[in-house]
Amino acid sequence: MASSVYLCLLRAVFLVCFVNPLIQGLSGDANVVQNPHHELEENLTGLPIVTFKWHHVQTPYLVIIWVFVAGLAKLSVIELNHHVTSVIPESGLLIILGFILGGIVWGAGKAQTFKLLPPTFFYYLLPQIILDASYFMPNKLFFSNLGAILIYAIFGTCWNAATVGLSLWGCYEAGAMGNLDIGLLQFLLFGSLIAAVDPVAVIAVFEEVHVNEVLFILVFGESLLNDGVTVVLYNVFDAFVALGGPKIDAAEIFKGIFSFVVVAFGGSFLGVVFAILLSLLTRCTKHIQIIEAGFVFVVGYLAYLTAEMLSLSAILSITFCGICCQKYVNANMDEKSVTTVRHAMKVLANGSETMIFVFLGVTAIDTEIWVWNTGFILLTLLFVFIYRIIGVFLLTWMLNKFRLVPIEVIDQVVMSYGGLRGAVAYGLAAMLDEDKIPEKNLMISTTLIVVYFTVILQGLTMKPLVQWLKVKRAAHSDLKLIEKLNNRAFDHILAAVEDICGRIGDNWWTRGWNRFEENYISWLLMKPKARRNRDYLFSIFHKLNLEDAVNYVSEGERQGSLGFIRSDEAANVDFKKQFDSEFTDVMPDIMVDMSNYELEIENVSVTSIVKDTIPSVSLDIHGHDRKNAVDDINAHHLLQQHLYRSRKNHRHKYSRSHFSINQSEDEVQEIFQRTMRSRLESFKSAKMGVNPAKKITKHHKKELTHKMANGHPDGTGHLYGDEVDSAVGSETGAIRGTFMRDMYTVGAGIENPVFLPDMDSPTHSSLPWLMETEAVAPSQRAQRRLPWTPNRLRRLAPMRISTCSTDSFLMADLEEHEEQPQTDHEEM
Amino acid sequence: MGSRASSLLREEDIEEIKKQTGFSHSQITRLYSRFHSLDKGENGALSREDFQRIPELAINPLGDRIINAFFPEGEDQVNFRGFMRTLAHFRPVEDNEKNKDPTSGEPLNSRTNKLFFAFQLYDLDRDDKISRDELLQVLEKVDVEQKMSIRFLH
């Protein structure tokens, strides 16, 4: 506690000492900016070794200093929050810190030069927050609730604006505010700028509360989309105020309504156009992937500025740009670019948010703007609060008649309480024209107070309120794969029932849109490679593979269970050096080389093994390690073998087009052994003798060989006998156990017995899901003993189910065994 | 659509179906005309072929399961009552539904009944158990990624 307080004080002192001379420099040197040359000439008596060139760097320096200060502020806020038991939301603390900073600057006697100016806010600080919000928007949730969101955004905002404005006007007429130079139109203007729920504040407060996703998307979506209404209302009333009362007739009002349509839909349409542009751009950047990430930000910002230029709704434009482009951009871009964009966006958005809140605090400490009118301010607070509640409940009551899953009362309470106003309102207020609106300062003051009230107080009490009301919270973990699959199955069921009923429901639209999108839009906007990799389950599989791999590494390092990882630094290096290259080689191949699979089966199978082994390795070992510390060495060997195998297989892929010289001794030996073994096998199988290569399995399955009635080649018999046995056992633990036993009884080390049965399989097993057969895919264990031809797979299905005699299977083995020697030779 | 269909549906039938399933009057009449349009053989009952004539069901991977769900055990024809009873499972859940008739048990669209119906969709051979194969079959038919999904379940 003491240390963090100490740190904060240290920072404050630092800021004071640092900021003060800067400000002095700023105010002092303002005049000297124009003629630096003259200055230098005048004072030049000797060669100056070092000069203080403040005016050269003045503007960017100040900007950077304030960004730096904002960052420090966030840091101290986070530190403080640990001790304040995270009761106050960060945004609130940042505003308070802004107060302190403003106080420091004011105390230094300087004028408040660092206000939050509207242009700065609207052009440099706001766009990245909105882009970040829309880029990470859960599209499915958003669009399925779009009706409700639009109702709240449009009608809710209009209701708020109208009621607040009119009530204030009514109270003014009733004399509650004393003497002010305001008319009805100005009240309406004020109402329109204070009515809008602010996306920045909503994100800042709600992200710490974790309410259920429907509630969140309703509030958040509303805060994003109401900008369309706010902009229109603001501009309309601003124009009306400028025109003056008498000139407003029906035509003007009609124009106002029409402008809403144009602004809102124009803005959204513009956003979609830029999203298409962005998707097309990322589609073409295959060879210059380093600038892909930049395009996202540039085009997003362009969307914002273009809409602003055309006086359309800029926030709507950038929102729809982000929403529409996310799918295609993520599919088209290289994985590294995707990560870059995500992180960069988060950094920018967080930074902007911090700066906005700090500046909101700093601008408070300015003696010029404060005008206090008790009636106005208190009444505004009251009306804003009450009309929000009334509006939400009214609209929800209407919506619930049409919704499939109604919005509960408790959610409505949270929604109305969550109507936070923020920096957008302040920005709009600061943009008011003083000549037309003499009471501008009063409005600014009121806006600031409303903002502070909602962000600090309502933000403060939001979390306890949510807990007290027992609002449904967000699910803590992602759905498991089986749950996701079930969800999909039920989508299909719903669609079927709707077809039977003959009515066109939600699902019809969703399916129709999905089909249209898959066929036409994706064709246009997605890279062909990305389109082929679009398989939903495959992407989940890939993601889970990566997770497993990462978990395995961190688990191993943490537990210290793996023999080759002893300490963080040294062992880390070893592991990475030895295996990381293989992982990174292997992993990207999963995505990159999938496109080849339609062309050559051989290439396919390699990557399929690669894909298959990684999860089987991770899953096996992961669980295994946890259970039994003794088997850690086993795990080590297993891992080494499997990774080793995958790297070798990976190299295999290139062996057709490039001839690469084997660097590793082990590999050379292994390949040699393989070759010899397979040659040997082909000889021996002709003689129907015992195959030394298969010793490993034979040892284990001696009993079964005796049972075999016929004298056909034992090699195959062993192979499948083994398998049947484990299939009968039908427990992965047992399977792994037998497998391990196999390896260690023969004392195999690096010379990998596991490989023996498989040597031909990489080139022969094809992806089950690519084949046209109806076979059930083999289990993990089966993959290690993959059959030699694609046809083999079919037999695994009956084998797993039936537990009785294996004769029939061995018979089946017989005819197909003859193919094997030929295929061996082909492969060599 | 209108007159001919509704003439075959008597008022007391509508009342009874309403009580049993909770659909409103207009919904029942509309669904009856749909039933009638599906019933090409004009015998007052739907067979499996009638369902299969719906084009979208043919491309739905779970189409035949849904069709099976309409037909009770062993039968090949479903009359309007049965049709409505199955469809009633899909009505949205109403929390405020006052239980007019305490002896009628839970309404057909209660959560429990929905879950039971969903279970039956998976349980093909109707032995009140979902075997692994039945589960596999459902998941298999969902899109081409079938083989992927099976592999993962092991």
pLDDT one-digit tens code per residue, A109-124: 665 566 667 888 889 8
Task: State the burial class of residue B9 (Cβ atoms within 10 Å of its Cβ: 0-12, 13-18, 19+).
Answer: middle
pLDDT of residue A796: 43
Q: Is A246's pLDDT higher than 80?
A: no
Domain membership flag for residue A36: yes
Q: From chain A, which residues contact B within 8 Å (Cβ)?
A: 404-405, 481-482, 485, 488-490, 492-497, 499-502, 535-538, 541, 732, 767-769, 776-777, 779-780
Our CA-based measurement puts residue A773 at a distance from the nearest CA of chain B, in whole angstroms, of 10
User: A391 pLDDT band (50/70/90 cuts)?
Assistant: very high
Place of tokens 């402008």: A259
CA-based nearest residue in chain A for residue B31: A501
Contact A679, A759 (CB under 8 A): no
Place of tokens 């966006």: A345
Between A795 and A477, the higher pLDDT residue: A477
Q: Is A393's pLDDT higher than 60?
A: yes
Our CA-based measurement puts residue A769 at a distance from the nearest CA of chain B, in whole angstroms, of 5
Our CA-based measurement puts residue B115 at a distance from the nearest CA of chain A, in whole angstroms, of 12
A500 neighbourhood in chain B, CB within 8 Å? 38, 51, 54, 57, 66, 87
| Pairwise CA distance, residues A496 & A89, whole Å | 47
Helices H / strands E in chain A, number of each: 41, 0
Would the CB atoms of A496 and B60 count as touching at under 8 Å?
Answer: yes
Q: Which residues of A769-785 are buried (b: 16+ CB within 10 A; e: fewer)?
A: bebeeebbbbbbbbbbb
Place of tokens 């001379």: A21
Domain membership flag for residue A556: no
| Pairwise CA distance, residues A157 & A192, whole Å | 8
Please give the structure tokens belonging to residue A277: 């542009």
| Pairwise CA distance, residues A483 & A502, whole Å | 28
Amino acid letter, residue A550: V
Q: Which residues contact A455 (CB under 8 A, 6 or more apart)?
A: A89, A91, A92, A95, A201, A204, A205, A357, A420, A421, A422
| Pairwise CA distance, residues A506 & A494, whole Å | 10
Can you list the residues of chain B whose pLDDT is less than 50? Answer: 1-6, 96-104, 143-154
Domain membership flag for residue A456: no
Mean pLDDT, rounded, for A381-397: 92
Contact A273, A519 (CB under 8 A): no
Reduced 3-state DSSP string for chain B: CCHHHHHCCCHHHHHHHHHHHCCCHHHHHHHHHHHHHHCCCCCCEECHHHHHCCHHHHHCCCHHHHHHHHCCCCCCCEEHHHHHHHHHCCCCCCCCCCCCCHHHCCCCCCHHHHHHHHHHHHCCCCCCCCCHHHHHHHHHHCCCCHHHHHHHHC
3-class SS at A333? Answer: coil
CA-based nearest residue in chain A for residue B118: A490
CA distances from B51 to A494, A505, B69 (A): 15, 19, 12
- Looking at A188-192, A555-559, A788-792, which range is the least confident one? A788-792
User: A38 pLDDT band (50/70/90 cuts)?
Assistant: very low
What's the start-to-end Cα distance of chain B, in Å?
Answer: 51
Contact A172, A180 (CB under 8 A): yes
Would the CB atoms of A485 and B149 count as touching at under 8 Å?
Answer: yes
pLDDT of residue A110: 63
Task: Select from A479, A514, A533, A537 the residue whose CB has the most chain B CBs within 10 Å, as the one to mutate to test that interface.
Answer: A537
CA-based nearest residue in chain B for residue A615: B152
Q: Which residues contact B32 (CB under 8 A, 6 or more apart)?
A: B5, B6, B8, B9, B80
CA-based nearest residue in chain A for residue B87: A497
| A278 phi-psi bin (left φ>0, alpha ψ -120 to 50, beta other) | alpha
Contact A105, A365 (CB under 8 A): yes
| Pairwise CA distance, residues A148 & A143, whole Å | 10
Please give the structure tokens belonging to residue A456: 């600090």
| Pairwise CA distance, residues B44 & B79, whole Å | 6
Q: Which one-letter DSSP state was computed for residue A310?
A: T
H runs (alpha helix) in A688-731: 695-700, 702-707, 714-729
Question: What mean pLDDT is reported for chain A?
Answer: 69
A518 neighbourhood in chain B, CB within 8 Å? none
pLDDT one-digit tens code per residue, A560-610: 655 444 444 433 333 334 444 444 444 443 333 333 333 333 333 333 333
Please give the structure tokens belonging to residue A415: 């929604």
CA-based nearest residue in chain A for residue B142: A489
3-class SS at A242? Answer: helix
H runs (alpha helix) in A210-290: 213-243, 250-284
A538 neighbourhood in chain B, CB within 8 Å? 145, 148
Our CA-based measurement puts residue A614 at a distance from the nearest CA of chain B, in whole angstroms, of 13
Rounded to 10 degrees, the C-alpha dihedral A117/A122/A126/A128 comes to: -120
Between A755 and A544, the higher pLDDT residue: A544
H runs (alpha helix) in A285-334: 292-309, 314-332
Domain membership flag for residue A154: no
Q: Which one-letter DSSP state was computed for residue A50?
A: S
pLDDT one-digit tens code per residue, A720-760: 333 333 333 333 333 343 444 443 444 444 444 444 444 44
| Pairwise CA distance, residues A239 & A228, whole Å | 17
Considering CB atoms only, which of A489, A769, A777 is closest to B142? A489
Would the CB atoms of B60 and A499 count as touching at under 8 Å?
Answer: yes
pLDDT of residue A318: 93
Q: Is A824's pLDDT higher than 80?
A: no
Q: From chain B, which residues contact A within 8 Å (Cβ)?
A: 31, 34, 37-38, 51, 54, 56-57, 60-63, 65-66, 87, 90, 92, 118, 121, 136, 138-139, 142-154
Bridge-partner residues for B45, per DSSP? B79
Between A499 and A772, the higher pLDDT residue: A499
Task: State the burial class of residue A523 (Cβ atoms within 10 Å of its Cβ: 0-12, 13-18, 19+).
Answer: exposed
Contact A300, A321 (CB under 8 A): yes
Domain membership flag for residue A31: yes
Amino acid letter, residue A128: Q
Q: Which residues of A595-622 are buried (b: 16+ CB within 10 A; e: fewer)?
A: eebeeebbbbbbbbbbbbbbbbbbbbbb
CA-based nearest residue in chain B for residue A486: B139
* Beta strand ranges found along A119-222 (DSSP E): none
Would the CB atoms of B145 and A501 count as touching at under 8 Å?
Answer: no
Domain membership flag for residue A63: yes
- The structure's pTM equals 0.62
Mean pLDDT, rounded, for A611-637: 49
| Pairwise CA distance, residues B13 & B20, whole Å | 11
Domain of A59 in residue numbering reads as: 1-86
pLDDT one-digit tens code per residue, A58-72: 888 888 888 898 888
Considering CB atoms only, which of A494, A495, A541 is closest to B148? A541
pLDDT of residue A127: 92
pLDDT of residue A9: 59
Widest distance between CA atoms in chain B: 56
Looking at the structure of chain A, the number of domains it has is 1
CA-based nearest residue in chain B for residue A502: B34
Q: How distant is the alpha carbon of residue A68 from its chain centre?
A: 27
pLDDT of residue A305: 94
Tally of CB atoms within 10 A around A565: 19
Task: Select from B37, B50, B62 the residue whose CB has the most chain A CBs within 10 Å, as the one to mutate to test that interface.
Answer: B62
| Pairwise CA distance, residues B17 & A701, whole Å | 65
Is the CA virtual torsion A22, A24, A28, A30 positive or negative?
positive
Our CA-based measurement puts residue A541 at a distance from the nearest CA of chain B, in whole angstroms, of 8
Rounded to 10 degrees, the C-alpha dihedral A366/A368/A374/A375 comes to: -120
CA angle A735, A737, A739 (to 5 degrees): 70
Mean pLDDT, rounded, for A770-776: 47
Sorted by where each starts, the structural domains of chain B and their CATH numbers stand as 11-92+106-147 (1.10.238.10)
User: A392 pLDDT band (50/70/90 cuts)?
Assistant: very high
Q: Long-range contact list for A559-562, CB < 8 A, 24+ apart?
A: A559/A625, A561/A625, A561/A629, A561/A632, A561/A635, A562/A625, A562/A632, A562/A635, A562/A636, A562/A639
| Pairwise CA distance, residues A149 & A315, whole Å | 16
pLDDT of residue A668: 63
Would the CB atoms of A495 and B146 count as touching at under 8 Å?
Answer: no
Our CA-based measurement puts residue B96 at a distance from the nearest CA of chain A, in whole angstroms, of 12
CA distances from A673 to A527, A618, A681, A756, A814 (A): 43, 27, 12, 10, 26
Helix axes A126-135, A314-332, angle to 10 degrees: 50
Domain membership flag for residue A49: yes
| Pairwise CA distance, residues A220 & A180, whole Å | 36
Mean pLDDT, rounded, for A42-51: 76
Our CA-based measurement puts residue A740 at a distance from the nearest CA of chain B, in whole angstroms, of 19
Our CA-based measurement puts residue B91 at a distance from the nearest CA of chain A, in whole angstroms, of 9
Q: Is A538's pLDDT higher than 90?
A: no
Q: Of A130-139, A405-414, A623-632, B31-40, where does the model show the most confidence?
A: A130-139
3-class SS at A437? Answer: coil
Q: What percent of chain A has pLDDT over 90?
A: 10
Q: Long-range contact list for A716-721, CB < 8 A, 24+ apart?
A: A716/A810, A716/A813, A716/A814, A716/A817, A717/A810, A717/A813, A718/A694, A719/A694, A719/A757, A719/A785, A720/A785, A720/A799, A720/A806, A720/A809, A720/A810, A720/A813, A721/A697, A721/A806, A721/A810
pLDDT of residue A119: 84
A492 neighbourhood in chain B, CB within 8 Å? 60-62, 142
Domain membership flag for residue A50: yes
- Looking at A304-308, A328-332, A563-567, which range is the least confident one? A563-567
Mean pLDDT, rounded, for A263-290: 88
Q: What percent of chain A has pLDDT over 70?
A: 58
Is the CA virtual torsion A137, A142, A148, A153 positive or negative?
positive
B151 neighbourhood in chain A, CB within 8 Å? 768, 777, 779
Our CA-based measurement puts residue B20 at a distance from the nearest CA of chain A, in whole angstroms, of 19
Q: Is A390's pLDDT higher than 60?
A: yes
Mean pLDDT, rounded, for A625-638: 58
